[in-house]
């Protein structure tokens, strides 16, 4: 494995202001990538930029909401000469563990907008650039909530199953263009996602709690970032459409 495997390459990372996205942005930059990081959180992005600069690299950050088409256009416009080798769709939010009988429309729509529509808008924007260039990779950070109903509320579980479906569709439709799409399903990771993970319906959370006992460990963000980096690199040339768990064995 080359430590500078992204030298000369361009990566776009969403959710780059915190947690997994921040770890991905910093890792890719230290592996040589020109990173464009976006987030709605300006302070988080500033911290990411600082970490990248401290590592001796430069970064471009854009404050933007992945669910808003105009913002996506601004984010993609920050790519140098329209070049992109890797899109890492990391931005995502939880759903307060709401069961379908209790979910409010605002939560449902926001979770779908950020976790599904955002990756679609980014993919739709960058795939033509990748096709023109003759290749590229998309790595979507889904969740084990994309494989099982036992870890979150209905909106989050639905959104992550949808993101895996989107990944597979892109993998099939653009393989002939030299483009690969993969998804990662982390289990618990120590990040700031707790902001949208406060349980609001005690009975539902209690029913889900039995499955949490299956968790063997909580991961650090960089343990997921290293997988994003490998899946997005040329070393993973034969990996397309794969859904890879990184959950310490939770779903095993």
Ligand X SMILES: NC(=O)c1ccc[n+]([C@@H]2O[C@H](COP(=O)([O-])OP(=O)(O)OC[C@H]3O[C@@H](n4cnc5c(N)ncnc54)[C@H](O)[C@@H]3O)[C@@H](O)[C@H]2O)c1
**CA–CA distance, 93 with 245 (Å, rounded to integer):** 19
Cβ closest to ligand X, residue 133 vs residue 219: 219
- Does residue 117 sit in helix, strand or coil? helix
Chain positions 25 to 64 lying near ligand X, rule: CB under 6 A, are: 38-41, 44
Length of the chain measured in residues: 252
Chain positions 181 to 220 lying near ligand X, rule: CB under 6 A, are: 186, 188-189, 191-193
We find the least distance from the C-beta atom of residue 117 to ligand X, in angstroms, to be 9
Residue choice 9, 10, 13, 14 for contact with ligand X (CB under 6 A): 14
Q: Which stretch binds ligand X (CB under 6 A): 11-19, 78-86, 99-107, 204-212?
A: 11-19
Residues 92-131: x/- map of binding to ligand X (CB under 6 A)? Answer: xx--------------------x---x-------------
164 lies in the site for ligand X, by CB under 6 A: no
Residue with tokens 């998309």: 138
**CA–CA distance, 66 with 133 (Å, rounded to integer):** 23
Q: Are 37 and 61 in contact (CB under 8 A)?
A: yes
Cα 69 to Cα 122, 129, 135, 162, 169, distances in angstroms = 9, 17, 24, 19, 21
15 lies in the site for ligand X, by CB under 6 A: yes
- For residue 244, list its beta bridge partners: 184
Residue 90 CA neighbour count, 13 Å, CB half: 34
- The CA angle 195-88-228, to the nearest 5 degrees, is 95
The catalytic position among 6, 34, 156, 174 is 156
Cβ closest to ligand X, residue 31 vs residue 95: 95
We find the least distance from the C-beta atom of residue 206 to ligand X, in angstroms, to be 20
Q: Are 45 and 21 in contact (CB under 8 A)?
A: no
Cβ closest to ligand X, residue 155 vs residue 204: 155
Q: Is 6 annotated as catalytic?
A: no
**CA–CA distance, 68 with 107 (Å, rounded to integer):** 16
We find the least distance from the C-beta atom of residue 4 to ligand X, in angstroms, to be 25
Which residues participate in catalysis according to the annotation?
156
Binding site for ligand X (CB under 6 A): 14-15, 17-21, 38-41, 44, 65-67, 90-93, 114, 118, 141, 143, 186, 188-189, 191-193
């Amino acid at each position: 494995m080359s430590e500078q495997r992204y030298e000369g390459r361009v990566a776009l990372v969403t959710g780059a202001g915190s947690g997994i996205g921040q770890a991905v942005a910093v890792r890719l930059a230290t592996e040589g990538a020109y990173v464009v990081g976006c987030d709605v959180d300006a302070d988080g992005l500033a911290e990411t930029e600082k970490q990248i600069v401290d590592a001796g690299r430069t970064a471009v950050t854009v404050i933007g909401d992945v669910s808003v088409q105009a913002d996506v256009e601004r984010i993609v416009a920050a790519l140098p000469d329209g070049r992109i080798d890797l899109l890492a769709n990391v931005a995502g939010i939880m759903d307060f563990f709401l069961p379908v009988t209790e979910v409010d429309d605002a939560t449902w729509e926001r979770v779908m907008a950020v976790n599904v529509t955002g990756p679609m808008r980014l993919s739709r924007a960058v795939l033509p650039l990748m096709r023109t260039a003759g290749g590229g990779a998309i790595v979507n950070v889904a969740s084990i909530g994309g494989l099982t109903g036992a870890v979150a509320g209905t909106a989050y579980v639905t959104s992550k199953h949808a993101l895996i479906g989107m990944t597979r569709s892109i993998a099939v439709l653009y393989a002939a263009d030299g483009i690969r799409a993969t998804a990662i399903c982390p289990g618990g990771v120590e990040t700031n996602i707790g902001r949208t993970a406060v349980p609001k319906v005690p009975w539902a959370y209690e029913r889900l709690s039995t499955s949490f006992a299956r968790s063997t460990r909580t991961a650090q963000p960089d343990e997921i970032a290293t997988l994003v980096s490998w899946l997005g690199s040329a070393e993973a040339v034969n990996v397309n459409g794969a859904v890879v768990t990184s959950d310490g064995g939770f779903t095993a």
